[in-house]
A = this chain, B = another copy of it.
Amino acid sequence: MARTKNELELLEEGLRDFDRSLPMSLLKAREAVMREFLPSLRSHQLSPEQWRVIRALVQEDGLELAEISLRCFLLAPSLSRISQNLEKRNIVERKNVDSDQRRSKLFLTKEGRKLFETLAPESEQQYLEIANKFGEEKLDTLYELLSDLVNVLNKP
């Protein structure tokens, strides 16, 4: 799409402000990356968050909600809605924890596992393409910087 006059003017001036905004830069990078994954997720009516839950259960089936919440970086209210959605669609199944009636565990159904088997190779392929386009070395550096940033901000 053609750039507007104002956009060109900003580029010439060096794109003040938002160009040195860490939240915006991280957001735009994430959006660009997600654009690669979204089409195949959409083709199966899955949100990125739903897909994260499915992958967590493939890694370890029968996780409790609180544990899924930690691993998938989802707040409890979001996970509550997501698990209800996936239950309705017969992708996951909920079981009570005998020793504590407040807790419950999620298990992948056969259908959920089949969904994973279908999507995982596409997803892996897209990740490899990103890694190739960007470069493995730069990708390693990026992961390290992001991890450092989180550690620096969360520690003190």
Binding site for B on A (CB under 8 A): 4, 6-7, 10, 16-18, 20, 22-37, 48, 52, 55-56, 59-60, 63, 66-67, 70-73, 127, 130, 133-134, 138-139, 141-143, 145-150, 152-154, 156
Could you pull out 26 A-B pairs where Cβ atoms are within 8 angstroms?
A: A4-B66, A6-B63, A7-B70, A18-B52, A18-B71, A22-B33, A22-B142, A22-B143, A23-B33, A23-B48, A24-B73, A25-B142, A26-B30, A26-B146, A28-B73, A29-B150, A32-B149, A32-B150, A32-B153, A32-B154, A130-B153, A133-B152, A133-B156, A134-B149, A134-B152, A138-B149
Is A141's CB under 8 angstroms from B130's CB? no
